Amino acid sequence: MVSHYLFLSIILFCLGILGVVSRRNVFIVFMSIELMLNAANLGFVSLSRLHVNMDGHVLALMVMAVAAAEAALALAVIILLHKHKGNLDTNIFSLLKG
Amino acid sequence: MITTYLFFGFALLAVLGALGLIIFKHPMNGAMSFVVTLISLAGLYALLSAKLIFAIQLIVYAGAIMSLILFIIMFLNIQEKDLPLDPNRWFYLAGGIVVVAPIAGLLIKISKSLPATEVTVFEDGFGGVKEVGQLLFTQWLLPFEIVSILLLVALVGAVVLAGKRGVN
């Protein structure tokens, strides 16, 4: 059943949201965002299977490319923050707070 | 029939991996359990007969992106004492569940109303490299070019950010 795949996608997306909300480690937050992107991909591909139409596959490819770009930039930012603060806590990174 | 069993196996592995990601304290353990999620998602794409996405999920996500993340985690040499204390993570987790559960219930109710199509694996003509490639280079040519420019910009940005000299 295609709807089972959509249930799994919803569950994974919610787990990603919970990871972003509840954790303070930068890496865990980052990987939770990746988890949400993957859940969206699963939704695209399963709806694409439902309609027997491959546009969803192309969209999943685009999402993967965006995720790769995001990973490169976010890891560079994490390295810089770790160099400046020596910590991985998201609460410490408050340089923009007035 | 076998596809149903495979689906439930992969789905269980994916959910367990995601739970491990948000529960394990050390990011290395979290990343390892996230790899399990990514690989079982690749299996689910294969069950949905998305062969190209299956291969790209394994190569790009479980291969390239996760090895980059693991490399950075090892590069920063995170000790047990460097980890942020999460004194009220269970509190935030419970609050998050309270907020997210109704939305998830609503979405599940919506997706139940979809037509009940049995998922069978197509032999060919759907989701292969040729079909998706034809679609990508005809109807989706402009988004493809925009994504390639995005990747170029991200590459330059990462080099500029991480390669900075003289920052203490």
Torsion of CA A85, A97, B161, B24, to 10 degrees: 60
pLDDT at B109 over 60: yes
Banded pLDDT at B14 (limits 50, 70, 90):
very high
The per-residue pLDDT for B115 is: 80
Using the 8-state DSSP alphabet, how is residue B88 labeled?
T
Q: What is the mean pLDDT of residues A33-37?
A: 94
The per-residue pLDDT for B168 is: 46
The per-residue pLDDT for B112 is: 86
Of all residues in chain B, the percent with pLDDT exceeding 70 is 97
Q: What is the mean pLDDT of residues A46-55?
A: 88
How does pLDDT run across B120-164, given as a tens digit for each residue?
Answer: 777 777 888 888 899 999 999 999 999 999 999 999 998 888 776
Which residue segments constitute the domains of chain A, with CATH numbers given? 2-85 (1.10.287.3510)
The per-residue pLDDT for B36 is: 94
Q: Where are the alpha helices (DSSP H) in A23-54?
A: 26-51
The per-residue pLDDT for B29 is: 92
Residues in contact with A88: Cβ distance below 8 Å, sequence separation at least 6, in sequence order:
A25, A26, A27, A78, A82, B27, B76, B78, B82, B83, B84
Q: Do B150 and A70 touch (CB under 8 A)?
A: no
Amino acid of residue B67: S
| CATH number of the B2-127 domain | 1.20.120.1200
44-63 in B: which are within 8 Å (CB) of A? 44-45, 48-50, 52-53, 56-57, 60-61
How does pLDDT run across B46-83, given as a tens digit for each residue?
Answer: 999 889 999 999 999 888 999 999 999 898 888 877 77
User: Which chain A residues have a beta carbon less than 8 Å from that of B162?
Assistant: 75-76, 79-80
Q: What is the mean pLDDT of residues A65-83?
A: 89
* Closest by Cα among A43, A9, A28 to A89: A28
- Tokens linked to A75: 């890891």
Chosen for mutation from B53, B75, B91 (greatest number of chain A CBs closer than 10 Å) is B53
The per-residue pLDDT for A33 is: 94
**Burial (Cβ within 10 Å: 0-12, 13-18, ≥19) of residue B2:** exposed
User: Is B75 at the interface with chain A, CB within 8 A?
Assistant: yes
pLDDT at B25 over 50: yes
Q: What is the mean pLDDT of residues A42-57?
A: 90
Q: Do B65 and A17 touch (CB under 8 A)?
A: no
The per-residue pLDDT for B88 is: 81
pLDDT at B167 over 80: no
User: Does pTM surpass 0.80?
Assistant: yes
Secondary structure of chain B: what % helix, strand, coil (to 5)?
75, 0, 25
The per-residue pLDDT for A98 is: 66
pLDDT at B3 over 50: yes
Least confidently predicted of A12-26, A81-95, B8-22, B50-64 = A81-95
User: Is A58 at the interface with chain B, CB within 8 A?
Assistant: yes
Banded pLDDT at A40 (limits 50, 70, 90):
very high
The per-residue pLDDT for B118 is: 76
The domain locations on chain B are 2-127, 128-168
